[in-house]
Amino acid sequence: MSFRNSLMEGRQVVGTWLFAPNTIFMELAAQVGIDFVLIDLEHGEASLQDIPMLLRAARGSTMAVLVRPPSHDLKTLSKLADFGVDGVVVPKVDTAEEARDIASACRYPPRGTRGMAIGSIRASGYGTEAGYRATADDQMMVAVQIETRAGLENSKSIQQVSEVDMIFIGPNDLTAELGYEAQCQQSTAEIDALVDQLKSSSKLLGTIPYFGVGRQALLDRGISLLVIGSDIAAQRQFLQNLKSPE
């Protein structure tokens, strides 16, 4: 069963960010049995060209590989689909029209606009997977991030876009957009209200822990996909503890 379909059937998953193009981290995460790694091309140092190498590091495992692209660029989204990522988490989606275009770039006609090169792409095993075309649209998860004031204002129309599988709430950017210098009780109240609104639809929900709301509380509220920590945070903490042990 694909990662996307398992979420649709109620699975809840916890994974982490990857900011650097580190194949050893990917291999180790896969061997440990992490549910997924989310590669961040928006803020991290990995590039589009690094994705096949990182995917190969996880090959043969049950760990899913997701990617946050740097923008809404439709050609980049189609390229990620061709590489064979398990899903995309697209930042700063402000309107339903943007959400439709993003989902369309990840699906083949008639559901979308993804180009047909099935015999040559990594996602199809370079043409060796005979049934790839029939299952491709249902294998890739499409998540859009609500993390701006415009996205918040248009959240009800965004959640109605049928080809979008998941709404991913970005608490850090959303907090700043709402005028708060840092996450606080007020920002948490507004994010909680958004979670409650989005839960009224059939959309999957994803996020990161935010002020006063941790891992178990979010899972108890029905969050399907939770991202905790990162490769950078883990290395920083280790080095800081090594320098100044308690």
In the residue annotation, 72 being an active-site residue is answered as no
- Please check whether residue 37 is in contact with residue 66, taking contact to mean a CB–CB distance below 8 angstroms: yes
C-alpha span between 139 and 145 (Å, rounded): 20
Q: Which residues contact 129 (CB under 8 A, 6 or more apart)?
A: none
Q: Are strands 225-230 and 36-40 parallel, antiparallel or unpaired?
A: unpaired
Query: What one-character-per-residue DSSP string does 131-195 give?
Result: THHHHHHHHSEEEEEE-SHHHHHTHHHHTT-TT--EEEE-HHHHHHHTT-SS--HHHHHHHHHHH
Helical spans, DSSP H, in 50-122: 51-57, 74-83, 96-105
Q: Which of 43, 133, 156, 215 is catalytic?
A: 43
- Give catalytic residue positions: 43
